[in-house]
Structures are given as structure tokens and as C-alpha cells.
Structure 1
Amino acid sequence: MSNTEVASLVRGPTNLPLWHKTIGGLLEEQAQRHEGRTALVVPWQSIRCSFRDLQTRSEVTARALLAAGLQGGDMVAIMAGNRVEYIDFMLGAARVGCPLIVLNNTYTPSELISALERTSTKVLLIASSISRRSMTSHIEGTHQVQAAGRLRHLKQIVVLPPTKQSSRSLTVMEYHNFLESGDDVSNKELQAAEEKVKDTDVVNVQFTSGTTGLPKAALLTHRNILNNGRFVGTRMHLTSTDIICCPPPLFHCFGLVMGFLNTLSHGASIVFPSDSFDASLTLNAIAAERCTALLGVPTMFIAQLEKLASKPYQITSLRVGLASGAPVPISLQERLSRDMGISDVLIAYGMTEVSPVSTMMDVGDPKERKRGGLGTPLPHNTIKIVNEENSIVPRGTRGEICSSGYALMRGYLDNPEATNQAMRRDGEGVLWMYTGDEGYIDEEGYAQITGRIKDMIIRGGENIFPAEIEERLLQHPVVAEVSVVGLPDDRYGEVVSAFIRLSEGEKKPMIADVQRWVGDTLGRHKVPVHVYWIGQHGVADDFPKTGSGKHQKHILRDIGRKLLQKQGDEGKIQERARL
């Protein structure tokens, strides 16, 4: 780097001091400050809780955990949809120092059991159903495995709503019985447990959505996630009069930290419109509660816009949207502004391991800066861009995005090798998270992402990132959703391939027209060689997604390879027929 070049290293502001509070401590403060003001609304459960209600309900849960014999550091787990008991359990566990493992609602019974084994969970709270999906096989499978001598740490399975499951070897409790079990825990016992909790203690265990091998469990502290949620709210210019609609799941940092802890930090209200995402129920909740902010990943926004196109909803109160999980094309931002009145769509960037937000836009940023990119580092965060030699590159140069600051996880549970691979110290002793994302920092200090390094398509030695091709395709008038991946090619190694879902009621265009649309603005090497339509024979009826709504590109690549193999086999049959 020359003397005239500026390094790709940007530090967030430090004018707002870090909080050294526990979640339980903040809850007590907010209950005293806001008392009967609405903190939480769950329309599908007909629930409305004040800040004082949250404190009272979480105290009942905390007593029940103590009655079960749990102590600070003992892990508990939850597998349920977005519901009031989820918040009760999280707050109750945080108050007495029990790290909460949030389990992905899409887990199979075997994945659930694996997570319980790896975390030494002592109490599991599980819903008997999530949306329309029965959890009976999960409950029975966990029961049977414990009876066979595994899951020796597990003391109780607590089920909500009530279930008739029971066993001699494993206590399967109804939720109301679990809560009643804490009646005999004294105030002195509860206070003693709460006084031991520190802001540096692990409070949340989040499994990463890995695509290979076992997901890793990130250990997050009170200081990590409480400050992160708070700083997200400052970028949204959140006040106690705001009402956030939160469709993202609570098992993900988006729902739990950027949603609930964000609102708790600012004394605002949060609405969970359904136990799992439902576009119609989300729109109903926005209209009924007059929500001022909407959270979501792009696929959620698209689904709501499609519903709005077919049925009128009274959406007049929204002022800000918060998006994460995938780039939000400018065309989608414009539709959200036009059709839902969201004047600012803010993009937050990060990963579970950084609690989860590293950089974010601000409502006060210039309009042109909010039309793309990742914003600037949150307070007390720093980002840098490094090359393959681990050297910081000049502004405007692409490289791997790294993050440092208070928000870095404690590490991966029982996996020091993976921890040391993901987080490394520089020559000055500063610890950095290596994200695996490629991006750059522009001249004004704003971050941009160009793609996931592992998703990069290498075509004949040229590096291609799917994001810019996806954004171009989403500008096409008939395209509703798209995902671009690399598929094998004998000549180039890999070629660009697109999976496309059409807007409702639209006719499928010619593949040549789609290719011409991309080629008009992007280089020839970025034009999709293969185009597949979601819903066509041999392709999935919908995009494979994680529980938080992200496209699972590894599954799309597998589907693409099978389609190519089938095309090759059919070609060979036709060739033999001609001979």
C-alpha cells in the first residue's frame, strides 16, 4: 500500500458507552421506568404484555428453573415458534444465569437430539406443534433416546401446550406444572441466584447454519447481545413510541437480538404476528397495531408485497425497515417504499459469531448511501478488509471482511480448533473474526459486500460473485425471486446458473430473453448459461431455505448437478438412437 492510499480499516463511534448490564438488570430498569406500557404483543395468542408483566412472568420461569435444581452455567434449550413463552423462558433463564440454547425449528428429531447431547442441556422447553407441524416425533424421539441411556444430563422435558406424554425414566411435564413447581422457591434463593450473574457470562447459545459438517455453537454473553441489540436500535432512531413488527424467528439472532433485545433496550414495543412466518398475518398485525418498523429477510418482504398486490391492507404507519441475511436489491427497496410506505430500508450486516451485527446503515445517512451497501461499523466495532496474505488492502480493493470489538463471541462450544480458525489475533494482539465474506470499503468508509467467498463462481479463472447477477435479474419485470450458483462445466470449470421464481400470474420468458437481460448491463461471462424455473419438473417447488429464510445454495447446486447429469444421460440416449 502506497503512502497516499487509505487503508481499508474503519472504526465505529465510541461516544455511546458500552453497557455493562445483564438482561435481567435491564428488564428491572425498564419495568420500573415504563411499568404498564405495552412491551410485547402476540396476536395469534391474543397476548399483550406490559414491561411489568414481562418481569413478573420471567420471575415465575426463573423460580421454576431453580426448583428443577439448576444453577448458574447449567444450559437450557427451547424449540418453539415466536410466542410469549419463548420470551418468558429466555428472560427467566437469563435472570438466574442459565445459558439458553435456541434450537432451529426446522430441526429433525435426530438433529434435536444431537444438539441436546452436544450442549449438555438440562431442561428442554418444546412446543407440541409449530405452525402446522407436529413436534410429537421430536418429543417421543428425545424420550426414547434418553431412556436408552443417552442424554444423561437432561432432567426435564417441558411441553407446551399440555401433552399426555409421560415416562418413568424421563419427566415430561406440562408447562403449567413446570411453572407451579417454582412456588416454593423463596425470594432469598431467587435473589442469590440473580446476584451471581455477570454481564460477561454466556447467556445465549446459537447454532450456526453451517452447510457442511455439524453446526457450531456460538457462545454469546449478556454484554455481546444486549449492546448489539441496543446499537441496532440507535441506527433505526428507535424511541419508546416505536412498535416493531418481527416476523424473523426467535431462534435466530435476527428475531432475538435485533428484534426483542432491540426493543427492550429502547423501551419500545414488539409484535410477533405468527409462530412461524406468514405474510398475511404479518400484514394484519402491521395494520392492527400500527407498527412503525418492519424486520425481515428479502424473501419475507417479497412474500408480503405479493400479498399486498392481491388484497388491500391498511398499511400506513411504517417508517423504517430492517433487512439482513441477504443483499436487498434497489428494486425491492423501491417497491417497499412505494407499496408499504417504508421510507428507509436499512441493511444490517454480520454473522451469529458477532452477536450478530457488525455494520449497519443509519436513518440519518444520506439517501444515496441507503440505496445499497452495508453502512458503517456499529459503535465499538471495527472492520477491515484483508487479502490472502492477511494484509490490509487499500480502500476500494476487494478482500475478506474481518470484524473486531466487544461483540465477538466467547468462542464455539467445546471446539477450540474451530474457534482459533475463525478468530485470530493480529500483530498488535487485537482479536478478529474472519467472516468468509468478500467485500470492500469505499472512500467514505462505507462497507460493501460482493459475495460469500465459498459461493464465488470461478469461470475460466475469472471470479464471479452471484450478488450482482441476482440484483440484475430481480430488476426483470416478471422475476420475483432468484438465486445464482455455479455449476460444473467441461470447458470453463464452472458457469453461471440461475434458479428463478416468477411473479404470480406471469408467463415464463424465453431463456434467451433472460440471458439478454443480464448481458445488456453485465459482462458476457456473467450471463447465466443454465436457467431453471422454480416449480418446473425436477426442480423444487420453492427455494430451499434455512429456518431464518436464507437460500440454501448448496442444495440448489446439488439440484443443478442432477439436472445436468440427466440432460447428459438423455443426450447420450438420443445419440445412440441416431446411430
Structure 2
Amino acid sequence: MGEKTMSGYPSVDKPWMKHYSEATLNYPFPRLTVYSYLEEKVSEYLDDTAIVYFGKKIKYSTLLENIKRTAAGFTAIGVKAGDIVAIALPNIPENIYCLYALNYIGAIADMIDLRSKGDTLQRYLEMSHAKVAVVCDMFAENTLSVLNTTDIHTVVVASPLDSAPSHLRLFAKIKQAKYKYTGCAVSWSDFFTGSNVIPQPHTDPDAVAFIAHTSGTTSAPKGVMLTNMNVNSLINQYISIGFKHSKGDIMMNQVPPFLAYSFLSFHMPFSMDMSVTLLPEYRPDLFAKNLKKYKPNHVFAGPGDWSNLLSNKQTDYSYLITNASGSDKLDETTKRNIEAVLQKGGCKNPILEGYGMTECCSAACTQQPWNMVYGSVGTPLPEVNLCIFDNDANAELKYGEVGEICISGTTVMKGYYCDEEATKEALRCHPDGEIWLHSGDLGYIDENGNVYLIGRLKRLIVRYDGIKVPPTSVENVLVKHEAVSACCVVGAPDVEHGRGQKPVAFVVMANGVSAQALTDTLVELCKSELPEKYIPVSFLQINALPLSANGKVDYRALEKEAAKLKV
């Protein structure tokens, strides 16, 4: 048989498929709900440890039992299939019980940042029309204060101490009592033990399982409807490509639980007979210390977490097998520096980056140990198709050409909740007749199927003369200087010409170096590698890049600061 003729179009040729075995491409994909998928997988290892929480071990048999008891609790307070329940909890066992329990009865979990309050929280609750909310005791007042404007009739209050070992509870001040008798609020213990009538499980694999919210870094946050098939397909693909693991391996989960990325951090290890160590508080500054304390084999984290290794004196990383980084891109220089620290500490495995978005269940591409291409965010997963699209020409672009990254496949969302206009804008029918998810990201694909991320369409800085400056191209040059530990380039209004923008760089300097003192040096560095019109007109020093609730750089906050400049 002759070699396949290449058409020149990535979505047609799918060159990344050559990286996958026949076994991967033919891996069975059962049509199940998220809960049923879990139950089927763990039925073979019920006595193994599923969760480790402050040293307390919870077996898989107990996990399933607690999920069903939680489902009974929801049913007792009137929750039924199709209802939406707001979940605003930290990484605690109760969060996991709730997500699976709601899926068990066919209800939908609306995953909300537990720190939300005021107008933001009110907007989330009004949008979903949720009648029940499960919240953390430390932030319960935020929910109780906006109840009058929502449909909420029951607030279940859970505490990080509810599942903690008894010796920890003895030395902690439990705050639940103050909420217990406010009429609509009920403690987790009362809710959990309120009913022993286990309902019948829901079985529709195409039903919406979760609502996860977009980060809102470039536009208003939207509620993404993810189905059972979306979630299970993603997990199934990671299993099928031969995710390297052993029975009893430890996954450390410190990812904020309101992210779609977080669900991957426990649904996948549960499906592979691993145990999950839950950390209730998201602390990127303690990432290295937590690695030392818990010695996990697998970690899904973000650039802010991994960067913490650069300022830590820990020397042993030999236990790490999977070093996954998501939510935002690591620049190549920083990534190589972190990997040097890992290798020095005995970890032989690179940091595996990926690419995705909430709208495709968090992941569309991933790097593989056997196909590491620096600068790339990996190749598409086996059930994902990618194309690079020219919106002006309404046509797919060829290899190496830069355009909008578009995604199709089994992980693509059903749509945005109660936002038909935004759904139509994101999910579009292309000339090939397929529905494609428009990511809003710029990138290109090479002939080996490697995907390269250039930046956000909405982040492009458009100068007065129409020249478009991609911020990441400038950022990648600036971080090459040893004194620049992080940076972000945004557009500032061009006062001189009365239209367009000029690039401005916000820089985080290392070792007390002044950005002002190095301005000439940074300009020369940019001149050596960039077109003249890409060079920032100003370098502003800041202590740290602002982050959104999702752990991504908050570009809009920096754009507001840049708007104050007269450039």
C-alpha cells in the first residue's frame, strides 16, 4: 500500500493519528453516565483507597456508598432529574460526593467559585435558577446574603472538617452551628443522614452533567453545558493512549474544583485505580512544599504552581511520573528551567503541556513523552479533530498558516446555558458540513500534527496603522532575559494617533532588579528578535501578574492599567 497523499489541510489529513496505536483508535467507549462509568470501573477494586484527606483514607466502596447517601439527601429535599444545583465547595470529599450524586439522579451540578459573592454570585444563581446550593461554611454568608434575589430554598453548608480525622476536628472551631437554624440552611451532617431511601440511578448518557464557567479573562463568564459523553470521552481517551500509571499510584489534586480541569483530576485517577490526595486550599506558593509532603506520582497543575519550584530549595522529585500543566501556557524558557530543577531532583519526566478550554471539557491536545516538541502544546487527542480557520475567507488554512484554532469531537460542549446567541457564535458550521467550536485562540499546526498556540484573537494589539501585534511573541522574547521572571504585554490606547493601540509590557523582575534601569537593554533584546512595530513603548514593573479566579493571567486588569497611560 502506497503512502497516504497529504491534502495540506490538517483536519483532513489528521497527521497526529500516526502517533496512536490501533488499540488506542479502537478502544471501546461505553455510553454511560459519569456515575455509571465510575461504578463500572471501580467495581474491580472496591477495597482500594480512593481518597486521602488529611491522612484519612476512604475506600472505593465507601466512596460509592457516600455518593448514594448524598443522592438520597438531594432527593429528600426535592432535587430531581434535570434540576440544577449550585456547588460552591473547596477540594473536600463532600464536593466529590455531590458531583457524582447529582449525576446519579440526573440533576446538573453548577460548579461555582466558592469565593464568589455579591453581584457575581447573584448573577450565577439567577442564571441557573438553582433551588438548592451546597456551600462551604467559611463562605456561607456570601450565599445567604443574596438569597432574596434567587430561587434558592435550601442551602446545605459543608465544612472542610466534615470528613477530616477526628483529632483535627477536636482542635478546630466548627462554624456550622451559626447557619444550622436560619430556616433555609442545613448542616452537611443533617443533610447526609436525612434519608436512607436510595433513588434509582439516571441512565441518559447524552444528558447534561455539569455546568462549568469560563474564566472571563477576555469576555463575560458563560456557563458551559458539558454532557456525560463529553466528560467520559475525555477520560476514555487518556486511558486509551496509555497514560503511564500503576495500581495504587497517588494523584495530588489541588486544582480549584470549579474548573472543568479539576474534574479530570479525580474522575480519571478513580477510573485507573489510583488514590487522590485532596488539598482543600489552592496555594500555588505552597506547591513545592505539598509535593514534598505528599510525594504524589501524578500532578495536574498550572504554570503558577510549577513556577513555585524555581524559588524552592527542595531537592527530591524522584517520585513524580506525570507532570501535567494546564490552564495557561508556560513559556519555553521557564519550562526548561523548571524541568532542570525536576531532573536535578531525580525526576526523569518532562512537563507535559496541553491545550483546551472549558468548552471542550478542558483538553483537546496534549504532549506525549514520546513526542515532545518544545513550543508546541502537543497533538490532538484521538477523538478530537482540529483545524486552523480563516474567518474572513471562511476557509480552513494549511500547515504552518496562522488562524483561529477550531475544535470538533466528542468532548465539545452542548452549548452555553441560556445563551443561544453566544452558542451560535462559538459552535459554527464550516464548509465541510461539520460543527466546529471556535476557540478564540490563534495558532497553527505543523505537518506532524503538533499544535502551536500564538495567543488570543481578542488579545491581538491592533496598531493605528492596522499592523497586528501578537502579545505572546513579545512576551516570549522578554522572558529570555535572566532578570525578567514573568511578563504580560497588552495594548494601551494610542493617544498620539487617536486610534489603535500601542504595546505596553508589564514585567515582574527577579532579584530586586529595576525594570526602568533595564529598559534600554529590554528594547535592544526586542529589536534583535522582533519587528520594530512589535516593541513595547513602555515597560512597567509590577510585583506579580494579576490572576483571575481560574488561575490565568487577568489581562483585562492589566488593560485597565494600561488605559491610564498617555502613549
Superposition TM-score tier, normalisation by shorter sequence: 0.7 to 0.9
Q: Which residue number corresponds to residue 538 of structure 1?
A: none
Whether 2:307 is the aligned partner of 1:302: answer: yes
Q: Percent identity?
A: 24
| TM-score normalized by the length of structure 1 | 0.86
Any idea what SS the aligned residue of 2:395 has?
coil
Any idea what SS the aligned residue of 2:58 has?
strand
Query: Which residue of 462, 482, 485 corresponds with 1:480?
Result: 485
Query: Which residue of 55, 74, 85 corresponds with 1:65?
Result: 74
Whether 2:337 is the aligned partner of 1:361: answer: no
Q: Deviations over 1:194-245 (max 9, x none)?
A: 0x32211111101112357642211101110122134245557232443222
Does structure 2 retain, via aligned residues, the 8 Å contact 1:299–1:549?
yes
Q: Which residue number corresponds to residue 30 of structure 1?
A: 41
Q: Which residue number corresponds to residue 90 of structure 2?
A: 81
Q: Which residue number corresponds to residue 384 of structure 2?
A: 381
Q: Which amino acid aligns with 2:251?
A: I
CA distance in 1, matches of 2:122, 2:293: 39
Query: Which residue of 551, 554, 557 corresponds with 2:556?
Result: 554
Q: Which amino acid aligns with 2:439?
A: T
Q: Which amino acid aligns with 1:384?
A: C
Count of residues in correspondence between the two structures: 528
Tell me by how many angstroms 1:347 deviates. Answer: 1.5
Does structure 2 retain, via aligned residues, the 8 Å contact 1:238–1:266?
no
Does structure 2 retain, via aligned residues, the 8 Å contact 1:248–1:548?
no
Q: Deviations over 1:36-63 (max 9, x none)?
A: 22222233xx433222221122111111
Does structure 2 retain, via aligned residues, the 8 Å contact 1:237–1:363?
no
Gaps of 5+ in 1: 130-134, 536-541, 569-579
Q: Which amino acid aligns with 1:360?
A: T
Whether 2:520 is the aligned partner of 1:512: answer: yes
Does structure 1 retain, via aligned residues, the 8 Å contact 2:309–2:341?
no
Mean Cα displacement is larger for which, 198-207 or 422-431? 422-431
Tell me by how many angstroms 1:401 deviates. Answer: 0.9
Please report the RMSD computed on the Cα atoms of aligned residues, expressed in angstroms.
Answer: 2.3
CA distance in 2, matches of 1:237, 1:67: 40
Q: Which residue number corresponds to residue 114 of structure 1?
A: 123
Tell me by how many angstroms 1:507 deviates. Answer: 5.0
CA distance in 2, matches of 1:215, 1:278: 23
Q: Which residue number corresponds to residue 251 of structure 2?
A: 244
Q: Deviations over 1:308-339 (max 9, x none)?
A: 1xx43643211331112222122222222221
Q: Deviations over 1:508-551 (max 9, x none)?
A: 4421122222222223222221111114xxxxxx4221112101
Q: Which residue number corresponds to residue 530 of structure 1?
A: 538
CA distance in 1, matches of 2:122, 2:409: 34
Q: 1:478 to 1:381 in 2, by over 3 A?
A: same
Q: Which amino acid aligns with 1:124?
A: A
Q: Which residue number corresponds to residue 102 of structure 1?
A: 111
Q: Which residue number corresponds to residue 350 of structure 2?
A: 344
| TM-score normalized by the length of structure 2 | 0.87
Query: Which residue of 464, 468, 474 corresponds with 1:463?
Result: 468
Does structure 2 retain, via aligned residues, the 8 Å contact 1:244–1:293?
yes
Does structure 2 retain, via aligned residues, the 8 Å contact 1:235–1:360?
no
Does structure 1 retain, via aligned residues, the 8 Å contact 2:29–2:236?
no
CA distance in 2, matches of 1:36, 1:504: 51
Q: Which residue number corresponds to residue 163 of structure 2?
A: none
Any idea what SS the aligned residue of 2:268 has?
helix
Q: 1:512 to 1:124 in 2, by over 3 A?
A: same
Q: 1:452 to 1:278 in 2, by over 3 A?
A: closer
Does structure 2 retain, via aligned residues, the 8 Å contact 1:24–1:91?
yes
Any idea what SS the aligned residue of 1:34 has?
coil
Q: Which amino acid aligns with 1:346?
A: L
CA distance in 2, matches of 1:8, 1:377: 11
Query: Which residue of 407, 420, 425 corresponds with 2:429?
Result: 425
Q: 1:532 to 1:235 in 2, by over 3 A?
A: farther
Q: Which amino acid aligns with 1:156?
A: T
CA distance in 1, matches of 2:57, 2:476: 40
Q: Which amino acid aligns with 1:275?
A: E
CA distance in 2, matches of 1:33, 1:270: 17
Q: 1:81 to 1:301 in 2, by over 3 A?
A: same
Q: Which residue number corresponds to residue 329 of structure 1?
A: 331
Q: Which residue number corresponds to residue 151 of structure 1?
A: 150
Does structure 1 retain, via aligned residues, the 8 Å contact 2:103–2:209?
yes
Q: Which residue number corresponds to residue 166 of structure 2?
A: none
Tell me by how many angstroms 1:136 deviates. Answer: 4.7
Tell me by how many angstroms 1:461 deviates. Answer: 2.3
CA distance in 2, matches of 1:37, 1:345: 28
Any idea what SS the aligned residue of 1:347 has?
strand
Q: Which amino acid aligns with 1:174?
A: S
Q: Which residue number corresponds to residue 144 of structure 2?
A: 140
Q: 1:553 to 1:85 in 2, by over 3 A?
A: same
Q: Which amino acid aligns with 1:279?
A: D
Q: Which amino acid aligns with 1:392?
A: E
Does structure 2 retain, via aligned residues, the 8 Å contact 1:219–1:409?
yes
Q: Which residue number corresponds to residue 134 of structure 2?
A: 125
Does structure 2 retain, via aligned residues, the 8 Å contact 1:208–1:217?
yes
Gaps of 5+ in 2: 18-24, 160-175
Whether 2:318 is the aligned partner of 1:316: answer: yes
CA distance in 1, matches of 2:379, 2:317: 30
Query: Which residue of 178, 186, 197 corresponds with 1:164?
Result: 178
Any idea what SS the aligned residue of 2:135 has?
strand
Any idea what SS the aligned residue of 1:125 has?
strand
Q: Deviations over 1:379-436 (max 9, x none)?
A: 2111111112220112111111111111111111122221111101234432111111
Q: Which residue number corresponds to residue 187 of structure 2?
A: 174
Whether 2:53 is the aligned partner of 1:42: answer: yes
CA distance in 2, matches of 1:219, 1:486: 32
Q: 1:118 to 1:305 in 2, by over 3 A?
A: same
CA distance in 1, matches of 2:97, 2:435: 34
